[in-house]
A and B are shown apart, each in its own frame.
Chain A
Amino acid sequence: MSKRVSVFRKEHFNSAHRLFNPAWSAEKNQAVFGLCNNENFHGHNYELIVKVTGPINPDTGYVIDLKNLSDMIKSSVIDRFDHKNLNLDTKEFAHLNPSAENIAVVIHDLLRPQLGEEYDLHIRLYETERNFVEYPVQ
């Protein structure tokens, strides 16, 4: 059995969003989400770290070709979210609050079906330098 190793690819995207629960009153949204509820949106530079864990392929020495992983992230995640309004421009967040937590889960679920069963996938998403989330929990 080949040793299992984790490899990482870092990408980034810039988006606008708003944290808002349409089932709540304007006052409750303001009380819970504060500045993040601005109806005219605000935005972030998101930094995404995708971690793939799997066996080293004895023929290549790779866990996964990082160029292929980069292309996968670009076509599935970056092209979908970069320079977009997450609430208005993406079907993933048309009815889901685009919190960092939900964005990490959505990114995981976009990538997971594209990776073989031998791989574990883990997402770390920085919304700011000081706020970041991880999924799944380890």
Chain B
Amino acid sequence: MRLQHYLGGLENLGPVNFFEKKVFMAEWEKRIFGIHTVMMAESAHLDKALPKYPLSQVPTTFKDTWTWASLRTGAESMQPFEYFKYRYYEKWLMGISQFFVDRGYVTAKELATLTDHYREHPDAPLPEHPNPALKEQVVRYLHHGDSGLREPVVPARFTVGETVYVADPEAADHTRLPGFLRNKKGAVAEVYQGAFEYFVSTGPDGLAGPQHVYCVSFHASDIWGADKSEPNTIIYADLFDAYLKPAH
């Protein structure tokens, strides 16, 4: 059981900090969000994306695949108490800078040295080196995205209205199965057209290749227990085929 997969349902947390409507809690957070999004826009896997991206013509030294799965795998494999210690974009900054060090794009030493420099001179400028062709690719990616829609390889296993149970696969570094739904009973509300391929295989967790995705409805009482749940409440989740089992 990995805590990051089981956030849904944790109790005794106190009020939601809903007065905090800002997207970025500090100006610097914008920059790491931007770096991550540029990495997704120039990720090596986009040469197989549905939109025809002219990736080989984009001038960049970035030669790796970087998707949401990269970021989420990092966050979900953190020691859980460390996970809760840091704010959302603090985790991004740690994960992304470590990635660039691990992959040899920058050394830990040069990052530390330059960090010291900017700490002493916060207003020192960034190098001025625009890259118009990369900028175009970033804009193209933001406009056209990276859909996982694929041709189904097998027919859908379940039909609308059918009772299903959620599987309980081995906990992996990354999953798209919310932990609170494991082993619970639901009903198929919609079978989405086509199949969907997730960015990566999640190994024993079960995502690999294109799969059907189902919108599954759960009565809150079937998840939390009749006497421990609010009345007249339905929870819907979109679940990949690997996460479902037939009722019989």
Indicate whether A and B interact: no
Where the two chains meet, the residues of B that have a C-beta atom closer than 8 Å to any C-beta of A are: none
